[in-house]
Structure 1
Amino acid sequence: MNEELREYLLQIRPLEAVSMEMARKRWSQVAKPLNSLGVLENDIVKMAGIMETSRVELDKRALVILCSDNGIVEEGVTQTGREVTALVAENMTKGESCVCIMADRAGVEVFPVDIGVARDLVSGVRHPLITRKTAYGTKNFHREPAMKREEAVQSIETGIRLVKELAEAGYHLIATGEMGIGNTTTSSAVASLLLKKAPEVLTGRGAGLNDEGLRRKLGVIKKAVDTYGPACRDTIDVLACVGGFDLAGLTGVFLGGAIYRIPVLVDGFISAAAALAADRIYPGCRNYMLASHVSAEPAGRLLLDQLELAPLIQAGMCLGEGTGAVSAIPLLDMAVSVYTKMSSFEEIKIEAYKPMGGGS
């Protein structure tokens, strides 16, 4: 780890306990059955600890989409070619992609970031492109490491700096997204090395692979795990050997949430693989994350369980781009409204609910 990244991580402080206790007390006073909003209540308490205030606000929220190409596509592990990454990323800048339509509905500002697309992009005006290119796509990790260690660190620091900029602009919540053909392959390889689980347990069909394509994808990941596993000294090595610039950048976004005290929403499988990488780089980083949904990809639940994060939604989603993260934001909006606006038991002059033990 270089000195700049180490200096960033030294800024992380624990969740603020007093604000969390005040948030729990407020929930206990709201005139409804105790704990009846489940994960939503817990997430508001966590946000109070992150923000260091019990006055939780979500008025200004951003979706950061890291876009990058992956050299592993050369091995036929995807249904489409890598040229699709650039086309979809450009579509995002015009506000015409799936997640942009959803974000408009949810009141979320979209920030597409070119961190490693294989060609230069033409930006639309709806969501202007942020260009932070580490390189023009990663190498093919079937033949050589995906990137240099220095490039992995650079990408992580890019993610951290993006969060810094959003924090300075007053954003209260960051949703994570990505776009990169081949990145379910990179994410499966990263997850396999970090979790020390067989690729078969973690690897799905991505964007619609047939049986032959899935066998090819599994073979590539298995070989990578065998080749690079013994040589990886730490999580940054894992990202460098088999990851992508988007994954490394998202890792930085999660670290940035902890550094600059902004809650960060985990999206699906790819985002969760980056979240786990961030937590391995700085144990406890998970405390600054919220889980939006359970991805339909095989590793979706496993990664959230490893991070000890409870998802808000289970809808069989696996689109990526941040669609799951954006979908969860209206639920958090509703929870904040109840938390801040609902009458207390005392105000409506009825006896408060009391905690009851389980069993008979």
Structure 2
Amino acid sequence: MGKRSSHYLNEHQREHIQRLSATFLWRSELPTWLLIMTIYGGWFSTLAFWQTLGLLPSTLLLIGFTAWYMSLQHELIHGHPTRVAWLNQLFGTLPLAVWYPYGLYRDSHLAHHRHDSLTVPVDDPESYYFTQASWARLRPWQQRVIRLRNTFAGRLLLAPLLDILQTLSGAVAAFRDLQVRAIVMWLIHGVLLAALFVWMAQVDFSPVWFVLAVSYPALALTKVRSFLEHRAADDPLARSVINEAGLFWRVLFLNLNYHSVHHDLPGVPWYGLKAIYLRSRETYRLRNRGFLVSGYGEWLRQFWGTPVDVTAHPGVKRGAGHE
């Protein structure tokens, strides 16, 4: 079940998870090993044979493999397929998605999993919320940009650009302030990215095309998953969504649509999340106070041009609910 288990499981749920974790599939981590081989094999093969496949099919395949790779990086961070952190990092360090050093993403994401800080700005580095003070300091045009980003269309088209600018700003700050650990991560990332671009050029695939037509749309795909993935609530268990998405999205996002289950049991491998959810569906629905959606299409229809209210954080009561 991983290094950490939930404090909120009843005995019936614990027994179910223990049975699952004793199976060959879980002990071998075979699904994740196959995933690693599929993603790496598909990504490099597509680039190597892109002229045979054609530019458009190759671009679409690369978008899919790159977005899938970002889901794999998340799985590596949570201790799969091995319990050896440096080995998992080895599988996720190649910058196939261009923008983020694995180490920085790992540190940020593990901080995001601090139970009582979830969604709280500053404390949660992945929160889309602002503090009341920082929201008030934004100029009207900046607030309009944020509200545009909070539409489904804006999350696809604008949010990747804002994330990239924020990441590059962080890189500049790291070098300016001599943050040695971050500088090392960025230097390794830059060297590996340069090597990938050199290889792309050797197979006559434009690195510029890859950045604009592959990596940006791939990052946008990941924003589908994170759209209204969390909300502000006093009870931490009510802050993460359950999204009963279709097969395509479940595979692409490695079942992270069952996000409430993932935050409850972050050590569970991706192929176990759905089974655990289905076994305890009503329990999870009660725990997250009905924060449930039938699929990403529901978010699209409801919020295509209408922003979700994720601006100034309303504040949460520390120690409320199950803190």
Structure number having the greater strand percentage: 1
Task: Tell me the TM-score normalized by structure 2.
Answer: 0.27
Structure number having the greater helix percentage: 2
